Structure 1
Amino acid sequence: MDVSAKITGIKYWPFLCRDLKVYNLSDLDAALSQDGSFILDLYGKKRIALSWWVSAKRTRSYPYARVYDTLSFEGKKVTVIPIIKDEGREGDRDFLQWDTISLMSLLGVYVIIGYYKNAEKSKRYAHKITNQRFDIQYIEEEINRILSYQSDALHWNLSQIEKAGEIGKTALCCYEKISRELGVEMHSKDSAEKRINELIRGKETFMQLSRELAKKAQNRESVTKQPKEKLSGIKATLTIKNYLGGYYFFTCDEVEIENETRYLIEGKHSKQSLIPSLEDIKDGLLKMILFANLKEVKIEGKEYKPIAVLKLTSDFRFSQEKLRSSQIEILKLLKEEARENNFMVRIKDRDLMEMVL
């Protein structure tokens, strides 16, 4: 099923953001090694909420959950994303996608496109690296630029795209140095340079390339049911158009049809607990931010009323009596978040709103 929609703005109040630790800018390196999200104090005058992605790929290490935790901060929200992450020949290699930056723009999050400068050799694999570290000086310079930047996150992020080719070249040079120093063979430099050259040709080329890759990934996901998802409805592609005419390609885990209403469902599943982890729930809530703000939702040209649903399932038979106190607190806050932002939460097939916690 192909679903199309528009989004003209984001209105959302998060309830599950954790309390963020405060670090000074001089301690940025330590902060990046200890926390996925934190408050950065800048010379005692201003503060920003900063998160960072381990990889450019959004399915690794819960980057959405890290971004989510910064959304309740009233000042500027910033996230650092590596343009490339190469773990070596025996590991993965991921590249930044335009759609990731587009999503951050929709959320009002300033993106710093970074690169890894240092790493350690894996003790288990001959051609794999670990503990990769950003170029801290470069990140600090970009943070200082954001402090004095007067336009919104969208315009900042577009300017970051303009520098993507240059940053990509620097990243490849750093990986060459890491490879020489550690004696670790990396993935093909030729294929990486081809991707980087696409970025150098400019913003529009990068956007087009990333959209094509996102569209292919969207099509793959729409026909593949992941083992972690316990779903029963129709899987769908979801194409969202923003007020500037940009397109974002997502998948909808499940779509249910009821008269003139379409339930757009994001599923999260746990094999080890009665409900999914807090990080999984936050990951799903980032989709709720989008789904709850959709307008003009259409299927084959016909418009329907959309209702966003976060569906939580597990391999265990659900019983409220078996919930831990920490899980009850999570569900209480989740219930408030759903009520405030007009989306549904289902646990198995039960409506969280009808549950007394």
Structure 2
Amino acid sequence: MSVINGKIKGIQYEIVLADNLEHIDIENFNINKVPSCCLLKDGQYSFAISKWVSPKRTRSYPFERVYNTLNTSKKITVIPIVKDEGIAGDRDFIQWDTISLMSLLDVFVILGYYYIADIKGKKITNQQFNNEYIISQIKKIEKYHSSALHWNLNELKNNLHNVTNKAQESYCKIEKQTGIALHSIKGLDDFKHRISKDISEFMKFSRDKAQQAQIREAQTLQPKESLSTLSKAQITISNYLGGQYFLTVDEILINKNTLFLIESKHSINTQLPSKGDIKDGLLKMILYNNLSDVEIDGKKINIKPVLKLTSTLLKGSILSSDNRKRIQAYCMENKLSKRNMEIIEKLFTEAHLNNFIVKIEHSV
């Protein structure tokens, strides 16, 4: 399997496909009840806020939510530091590389914790953030005049241990209140011990987990991928913050001295993958589009990002580089809905503005 390395020195990208965000006043704000991303107004202050339902980035399209806020000058995302569903379910911890990626995108991270939950079978569900704490952090960001990078690093250095303690206390209460057995408290103690030393320990802890996940993903074909080849590759992206992102490229193609990094999204029941899937792919395009000093298996190479959308319900294929007449003919041949044609038009515009390729085609 090929190994790709690259660097990101900064982000330049124009967003087109983002949703219009609902406006919420701070007096009516409850992080547990507002949409997954919205615009928050507090007097003279205005933010775009997104929230994660798990610290794990592969669950519930958190990248779509963040993507929808990237057009706003000041962006906040709320991420639970840990989510424990009970012994019968998963327990996920926040990773350094998630925070590093948010810093790279100039997004302020609020490290949240769950403090109440409902029972569902042998698990807990409907976990809710402590809203008062989230609002208190928003108020601090209002008065914070440095960058998201500085805020995020400061939170890791000075507040991560505190939030972990709050999460630990809350899960002990939830376990008593619900009677649902949660994962051993030792796991949280180990996490707290690792991060209490210094940020480098937290980075190592996170990267070990991320690398393990990268290897697993590289060996697996996901249901939402339909590849013309199984040429997956591991890619490690480094940035000036010391962050490293261990990702898996769905498909690669080398033509002369150009490496095509292909992110694939597939649909069986609809003509296009969901907007959540597409925006998840677009966040990868943001990363790939800003890569420099790229090497594959130790050799320098030029790159071209590609977002490939496939469906069993389509006929033929089109590229974002095709002329308007060809694109219109394709839409008519496949009897695409007005909504899907609007998505394609915006998506192709975003591809043109940011110099990547979108390919839409039939696949089984």
TM-score of the alignment, normalized to the shorter chain, above 0.5: yes
Q: Is it true that 1:128 corresponds to 2:123 in the alignment?
A: yes
Matched, 1:343 2:356: yes
The residue number in structure 1 matching 2:19 is 18
Structure 1 partner of 2:6: 5
Structure 2 residue matching 1:32: 3-state secondary structure: coil
Verify: 1:139 aligned to 2:137, yes or no: no
SS of residue in 2 equivalent to 1:348: strand
Q: Percent identity?
A: 47
Number of equivalenced pairs:
344
- Distance in 2, matches of 1:64 and 1:286, equals 7
Partner of 1:155: 150
Q: CA deviation at 1:138?
A: 1.0
Further displaced range: 9-18 or 234-243: 234-243
- Report if aligned partners of 2:100, 2:241 keep a CA contact under 8 Å in 1: no
**1:246, distance to aligned residue in structure 2 (A):** 3.3
Q: Deviations over 1:162-196 (max 9, x none)?
A: 22222112101101101111222112222232222
One-letter amino acid of the counterpart of residue 17, structure 2: L
Q: Distance in 2 between matches of 1:236 and 1:72?
A: 31
Q: 1:104 corresponds to which letter in structure 2?
A: M
Task: Give the Cα–Cα distance (whole angstroms) in 1 for the partners of residues 346 and 299 of structure 2.
Answer: 35
* 2:207 corresponding residue in structure 1: 211
Secondary structure of 1:33's aligned partner: coil
Contact 1:110 1:153 in 2 (8 A): yes
How far off is 1:66 after superposition? 0.4
Q: Which amino acid aligns with 2:19?
A: R
**In the alignment, what sits opposite 1:253?**
250
Partner in structure 2 of residue 355 of structure 1: none
Consecutive unaligned residues in structure 2, runs of 5 or more = 316-329
Identify which of 290, 301, 305 aligns with 2:287.
Answer: 290
Question: Contact 1:166–1:200 at 8 Å: present in 2 too?
Answer: no
- Secondary structure class of the residue paired with 1:88: coil
- CA displacement, residues 117-139 of structure 1 (integer Å, 9 cap, x when unaligned): 111122xx0x2111111111111
Matched, 1:105 2:106: no
TM, length-normalised to structure 2: 0.91
Greater displacement, 82-91 / 60-69: 82-91
- What is the distance in 1 between the residues matched to 2:126 and 2:242? 39
* Letter paired with 1:130: T
The verdict on how the C-alpha distance between 1:245 and 1:200 changes in structure 2, with shifts beyond 3 A counting, is closer
CA distance in 2, matches of 1:216, 1:334: 33
Q: Is there any run of 5+ residues in structure 1 with no aligned partner, and where?
A: 351-357
Q: Over aligned residue pairs, what C-alpha RMSD do you find?
A: 1.5
Partner of 1:64: 63
Say if 2:224 and 2:267, in contact at 8 Å, map to a contact too: yes
Q: Is the CA contact (8 Å cut-off) linking 1:56 and 1:94 kept in structure 2?
A: yes
Q: Counterpart of 1:177 in structure 2: which amino acid? A: K
User: Which residue of the partner structure matches residue 114 of structure 2?
Assistant: 116
After TM superposition, give the deviation of residue 61 of structure 1 in Å. 1.0
Counterpart in 2 of 1:45? 44
Give the residue type in structure 2 aligned to 1:347: I
Are the aligned partners of 1:49 and 1:76 in contact in 2 as well (CA < 8 Å)? yes
SS in 2 for 1:10: coil
- Residue 35 of structure 1 is matched in structure 2 by 35
**Counterpart selection for 1:193 from 189, 193, 209:** 189
Aligned: 1:281 with 2:282 = no
